[in-house]
Amino acid sequence: MASYRPTSIFTYPQLGGGTSPESTFWRSYKSPVDIKEYGAVTHIDFSPVPPHPFAVTASTRIHVYGQNARTPERTYSRFRDVAHCGVFRHDGRLLVAGSNDAVVRLFDMNGRAALRSFSGHTRAVHAVSFLAGGLKVLSASDDNSVCLWDIATSAKLGVFAEHSDYVRTACASRFNSNLFLTGSYDHSVRIFDAREGKTILTVDHGHPVESVLLLPSEGIFISAGGRHVKVWDTKLGGRLLTCIRGHHKTVTKLALNGAGNRLLVSSLDRHVKVYDTTNYKIVHSFDYPASVLSAAISADDATLAVGMTNGILTVRHRKAEKVSRVGGTVAKVGKWQSRRGLRYRLNGKAFASNKAIVIPKTSKLHLSTIDKLLKSFEHSQALDAVLLPHTSIGLQVSIMQELIRRGKLENALAGRNDKQLVVLLNLLIKHLFDARYTNVLVTVAENLIDIYSPSLGTSSVVDERIVKLLNLMQLEVRYQENVMEIMGMMDTLFAATVSTENMEVAGDNSSAADSTF
């Protein structure tokens, strides 16, 4: 007599679950330190020079904070009206800012009074920046113009008035002292060349532009406005590469991390989201209690500062891992470990106790129970046993695959009432698009529809879910067709590449043969 083959549980890869190195990195920022400013925090800028102090622009003041300070180390308050966009020069020695009084002011980090004042705009100046080399200043104003200023002489070097609405954001090239980028409420983003005195590239963002940014390579720039963040390629004439729609309110500010491979996007929806600049997929998200106007991260990625509409500046510092060597091994030491004894954390609260804590075990479904049901040919009961709440999807799919292998899936699915069908249909709808389980669940869905399609119309709840399941299956079929088309195109490209390489190799061989003769 043949021995009975026990049921085996298949191991499925975890997609997006668990703790990834990316999430571990962003979660390593400590609980935020909140600092109350005098008004809404409209701009934050970190000095490129260690130890990376940061300038916070709020109301009529600019406060400069040390990396670990809770009180400002320096304050610039010589503004007659609201200040805007305090920005450091590349050497950290100068700081420039605009204001509502239409004057651009330049400050020395060792003084308090303005070193230079640039007057020429007729309305508020919301965006300023140093051009490459640090000898010129760029200013963008609500008078629809952009001006260049010489720091040494305070002279106006040029005026660019091609925008038709407020110019609220600007970004200068780090390598070319004549190139800069501006964004306006006329929905356009323009790249200017000071040598030509005009725009050399214009793109339409489609919404009032709140922030622009050049990636380190400067072949790609990013614009933010409305609820959209758009990525453009300058080398392809301003071709749109991708559009990020991850926010449900206006995006206010863009920022890059030190390496330039992570994009921080802040929004009025109270979120700061982090995107990978290689594929523009979200890798982490920070939640805040109020709408976010500004966000910045230091060049060494040690400090993250966020400013909100309620005047709160939130500063997070990355946790420094402490290690202690005990018995030749390295162990991490957390802040909550007490010198006097062991501390426990329950529900976010820390307390010390000498009593034993008993954690109740959750009941697990043993495979022996399912094997007994399958041995007794009670296939329907075996399937019911894994459809109970809190049963892992991996176990559920493994049992379904075992029923398919035995050819008893139809027997297990037949004879179910409305309540049992709803449980099964909900499972299929929830996990049908999960690539780990699609092959098995599509087979189960096909059998389920074949069995119960003649009885459609008897239960509105079941009918609704079956219709939804059918639509999902049709969508999956279209996805598979698109994938097959793409694979066919890729095979053609690979084949053409291989044939070209073979021809080149053959040509080289023939040349070598001719040279020998």
**Are 265 and 382 in the same domain?**
no
Cα(100)–Cα(123) distance, rounded to whole angstroms?
7
What's the pLDDT tens digit per position in 404-427?
888 888 888 888 888 888 888 888
What's the pLDDT tens digit per position in 284-322?
999 999 999 999 999 999 999 999 999 999 999 987 654
Block residue for tokens 């459809």: 387
Domain-embedded: residue 146: yes
Amino acid residing at 30: K
Domain-embedded: residue 497: no
Question: What CATH code is carried by the domain that includes residue 243?
Answer: 2.130.10.10
pLDDT higher at 459 or 52: 52
Per the CB < 8 A criterion, the answer to whether 149 and 156 are in contact is yes
Domain of residue 445, residue span:
367-476
Nearest of 59, 67, 23 to residue 297 by alpha carbon: 67
* Average pLDDT along the chain: 82
pLDDT higher at 436 or 76: 76
**Are 371 and 313 in the same domain?**
no
pLDDT band at 349, cuts 50/70/90?
A: very low
Cα(499)–Cα(502) distance, rounded to whole angstroms?
5
Q: In the prediction, which pLDDT does 5 show?
A: 63
Domain-embedded: residue 9: no
SS3 label, residue 81? coil
Mean pLDDT over 32-60 rounds to 93
Cα(83)–Cα(309) distance, rounded to whole angstroms?
15
**Are 104 and 202 in the same domain?**
yes
DSSP state of 470: H
Residue 372 β-bridge partners? none
**Are 309 and 425 in the same domain?**
no
Mean pLDDT over 121-137 rounds to 95
Does residue 34 carry a pLDDT above 80? yes
Burial of 441 (0-12, 13-18, 19+ CB in 10 A): buried
Domain-embedded: residue 94: yes
Nearest of 105, 110, 65, 67 to residue 83 by alpha carbon: 105
**Are 301 and 164 in the same domain?**
yes
**Are 188 and 311 in the same domain?**
yes
Q: In the prediction, which pLDDT does 504 show?
A: 59
Domain-embedded: residue 139: yes
**Are 392 and 313 in the same domain?**
no
Nearest of 177, 179, 236, 175 to residue 203 by alpha carbon: 236
Does residue 337 carry a pLDDT above 60? no
Cα(265)–Cα(251) distance, rounded to whole angstroms?
7
**Are 133 and 258 in the same domain?**
yes
**Are 311 and 213 in the same domain?**
yes
**Are 206 and 289 in the same domain?**
yes
Domain-embedded: residue 422: yes
Per the CB < 8 A criterion, the answer to whether 293 and 249 are in contact is no
Nearest of 262, 261, 256, 268 to residue 297 by alpha carbon: 256
User: H or E segment at 25?
Assistant: helix 21-27
Cα(39)–Cα(60) distance, rounded to whole angstroms?
8
Candidate from 8-12, 52-56, 410-414, 453-457 with smallest mean pLDDT: 8-12
**Are 185 and 46 in the same domain?**
yes
Please state the domain count of the chain: 2
Find the DSSP H helices in 346-437: 367-375, 379-386, 393-406, 409-413, 418-431
**Are 416 and 306 in the same domain?**
no
Nearest of 380, 366, 451, 442 to residue 412 by alpha carbon: 380
Amino acid residing at 460: S
- At which of 317, 340, 355 does a domain end? 317
Residue 297 β-bridge partners? 304
Cα(454)–Cα(145) distance, rounded to whole angstroms?
70
Find the DSSP H helices in 407-459: 409-413, 418-431, 438-452
Decide the pairing of beta strands 188-193 and 292-297.
unpaired
The dihedral built from the CA positions of residue 9, 14, 18 and 21, taken in this order, carries a sign that is positive
* Token pair in block for residue 326: 């005990």
* Token pair in block for residue 476: 């999956």
User: H or E segment at 507?
Assistant: helix 460-516
Domain-embedded: residue 482: no
Q: In the prediction, which pLDDT does 173 show?
A: 92
Domain-embedded: residue 454: yes
* Token pair in block for residue 18: 């668990």
